[in-house]
Structure 1
Amino acid sequence: MQRGILDLYRQDIAKYAATKMHIRSIFDAIPSQLDKKNKRFVLADLSKSARMERYASDFMWLADAGVVILCRNVTEPVSPLKINEHRSLMKVFMADVGLLSAFGMGDARRELLTGDAGINWGSFLENLIAQELLAHGLEPYYYDRARIGEVDFLVERDGQVIPIEAKSGKDYTRHAALNNLLAVREWGLDQAIVLCTDNVSVDDDEPAITYMPWYMTMFIEKPQPEHIIIEEP
């Protein structure tokens, strides 16, 4: 059924997309791009002459169609993240992690359930977290600079930026890039989250780092607006 959905996506691209060749090549390249260490989508892998100004609307077509999630790089991890985004650098996740599994990456259900570390956990885990954050009203970004390193996700709540790291191994307390990011005091980051295989714990050093199991991503929600009650005089 999942492979059938992927085939229907391809048919819709051929039927409705103005630049169908560009969009189809982006769509089919998603698994291999996520299989890379930094998971950033590299246009040169599609064509040596590919340039973002020619492909930008194609990425947006897929995102607007609900097929992919665009996770853009930011130049600085400060609020508002939207105005700091680097639009030519992004990760491209599938909008559904189950479809990613069916999309040329083999049937990983048994391995995921039994904890087989032989599969590419990174691709599935980051895709799942991006999907869950977006489902709870948080647009995912990421940060990657040579002097800091790569931090998997950044989200914004009440004007505060929260860095999030996704860890699949037992060494989840080792996160050099996250530490480097938090150490830049002018950015004013006062909290961070590490999603890991262990239970909930908090490192109270400032800035505070909260460790949570993967499934608790659903609790990193965007606050709901307060209801204002207007009483008649």
Structure 2
Amino acid sequence: MELTLVQRGSGTRFVGDHIAPFESLDVVLIGANVPHYWRGLHHSTGYALQWRFEANHPFWQFPESQSLKPLWPQTAHGIRFTGKTATTIVTLIENIAHSSSLERLSHFIQLLHHLAKSPKRDQQRLSTRPFDLASVQIHQPAIERVIRHVLKNFRDPIPLKQVLKLANMSRATFARQFPKHAGKTFSAFVNQVRLESVCRDLTTTTETITNIAFSNGFNNLSSFNRMFRKVLKCSPKDYRLNIAAKD
């Protein structure tokens, strides 16, 4: 499992089928074998704390550890912590980083305690469905290559033939495996990455909507507008105006 803390920086967070922008402070707990990727962490600061407690681990023999049982299955979705829980987690992770021996273990146990008792209002489930890639890890490196390729080249055309060659898979195998790792079809994933970039450009630039759409890989304005409305429940113009009104 992994607890990731971004204290400074921003970018895009991928956890299971979840894709969304993030800004510091960002605290996320990720279960074992859940696919995840942080994009745009240049010049960022933070910590990543990892541990492994399998079902037969002696840790679960302690009666006190049972308080974690309700939280553990939820980590297969990825959980973002906010509010007072996030603030407490920051302090405890910093204590762990600057401690050693039994003192470090003590801070870690305190951290688990605060995760277990965190109120629901401080927990945001990220992925819409749970993930556990333990049984399909043989294909994970290939899918990761494809995802990194998409993140690097989403502004350009991405032919499926090129992707299949990169993954070294047949069309049928790729069509089965990609949703298992990314939570959606390949085309839906590409479109979501492009839409995420469009939303970022709508809020951070004064470029026209047409230019933004085409510069982010959409080559048909009418289909772009339909897709944007379907996913964001508003037009690109209204999205930009709503964000500006909030600021």
TM-score by length of 2: 0.31
Q: Which has the higher contact order (CA 8 A, sep 6+)?
A: 2
More helix by share: 2
TM-score normalised by structure 1 residue count = 0.32
Please identify the structure whose Cα radius of gyration is greater.
Answer: 2
